[in-house]
Structures are given as structure tokens and as C-alpha cells.
């Protein structure tokens, strides 16, 4: 796998933060956590309103630019009528990556029963992985931490790089199968 730092963009989805009604705390918290837990470079940050088209347009622009490995969104994953980040994400991804969202919900469920209300989606567009995180800074960082260890491997697979896992083992003592290259 390449030793190059992952390039990560952070998109905050919030009507009020986009209008300047309050300061975006989630985006900076996610960016700081990403730098710490996946040793990445934050290349873009933006705040958009809870608008399906605005979210999808930004995700498309970033993913199609081919210089961002991972896009982390924060906000808009709940049950309110304005929570449309999952729908916007599905509008732009080519393939879902449900295991990431499932892992985040499962880990969050150990902290709060409200994790069951998350509608977060994760998926792939081109060679970019898009991950929806909750809007709360604390929950967003907790969720990112859950999946951080697999992100470099996921990006290597998307880049078509050889990925050998001698250190990973099967639960029954067998080596994990190599990823096809």
C-alpha cells in the first residue's frame, strides 16, 4: 500500500451553520479527528445547507475531481424532514459500502439507543469513498474512530494497489484471503 497520506474532504450539512446562525463545530471536530486517527491531509472543507441537490453537487464535484480519497459528511442523517444527506449520497454513489455504516451503528448502539435512528450511508463514487457521519461533534468523532483502521486499506483497494494482510487472520486461525489485484 502506498505510504502517501490519504486526502480527505469534510462536508458539514447544516442549514443554520451554512447561514452563519451558529458556528460549525462538527466539521472541525471531524477534520481534527481524521488527522489524528487516520493521519490524513484535509484538502477541502465546506458547509452546505440541508438541501439534497446542494449536498449531491458538492459530493459529485469533490469525488469527480480525482484528488480526494475520502469524503466525510457530518449532519443530516436523522429522521427530520430536512435530514437528506443519505438520499443525496445515494444520488451520487455508484456502489454502497454498507459494512461501514453497519459497524458505526453497532458501535454507537453500545453508547446510546438513539444510534438506531441513524440513516447514515457509505459508498463509492469512482475511487472516492463517501461516509456519512452524525451531526453531533461527539457522535461524529466516535463513528469515525470506529471505522478509521480500515480506511487506508479501503482506499488502497479503490486505487487498485496490492493489499496483503499477513497480520490479519481469519477467526478460525486461517489467513484472510488476499484481495484480488
Instruction: Tell me the per-residue pLDDT of 111-167, one tens digit each, with 9 for 90 and over.
Output: 999 999 999 999 999 999 999 999 999 999 999 999 999 999 999 999 998 666 544
Residue-level pLDDT at 170: 41
The residue length of the chain stands at 181
Cell numbers standing for residue 64: 469527480
pLDDT at 169 over 80: no
Residue-level pLDDT at 172: 42
> What is the C-alpha to C-alpha distance for residues 2 and 45, in angstroms, rounded to an integer?
24
pTM of the entire structure?
0.89
Do 87 and 120 contact (CB within 8 A), yes or no?
Answer: no
Phi, psi of 15 (to 5 degrees): -60, -50
pLDDT digits (tens, 9 = 90+) for 67-97: 999 999 999 999 999 999 999 999 999 999 9
Residue-level pLDDT at 85: 98
Cell numbers standing for residue 3: 505510504
CATH tag for 7-159 (out of 2.40.50.140, 3.40.190.10, 3.40.980.10, 3.30.9.100)? 3.40.980.10
Q: How far is CA 62 from the centre of its chain?
A: 13
The 10 Å Cβ neighbour count of residue 52 is: 17
Amino acid at each position: 500500500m502506498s505510504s502517501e497520506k490519504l486526502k480527505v474532504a469534510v462536508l458539514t450539512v447544516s442549514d443554520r451553520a451554512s447561514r452563519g446562525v451558529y458556528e460549525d463545530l462538527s466539521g472541525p471536530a471531524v477534520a481534527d479527528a481524521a488527522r489524528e486517527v487516520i493521519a490524513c491531509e484535509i484538502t477541502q472543507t465546506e458547509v452546505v445547507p440541508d438541501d439534497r441537490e446542494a449536498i449531491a453537487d458538492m459530493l459529485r464535484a469533490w469525488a469527480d475531481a480525482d484528488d480526494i480519497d475520502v469524503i466525510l459528511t457530518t449532519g443530516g442523517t436523522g429522521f427530520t424532514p430536512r435530514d437528506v444527506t443519505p438520499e443525496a449520497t445515494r444520488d451520487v454513489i455508484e456502489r454502497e459500502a454498507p459494512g461501514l455504516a453497519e459497524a458505526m451503528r453497532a458501535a454507537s448502539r453500545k453508547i446510546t439507543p438513539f444510534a438506531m435512528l441513524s440513516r447514515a450511508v457509505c459508498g463509492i463514487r469512482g475511487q472516492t469513498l463517501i461516509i456519512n457521519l452524525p451531526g453531533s461533534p461527539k457522535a461524529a468523532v466516535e463513528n469515525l474512530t470506529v471505522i478509521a483502521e480500515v480506511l487506508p486499506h479501503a482506499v488502497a483497494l479503490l486505487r487498485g494497489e496490492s493489499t496483503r494482510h499477513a497480520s490479519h487472520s481469519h477467526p478460525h486461525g486461517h489467513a484472510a484471503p488476499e484481495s484480488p489485484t
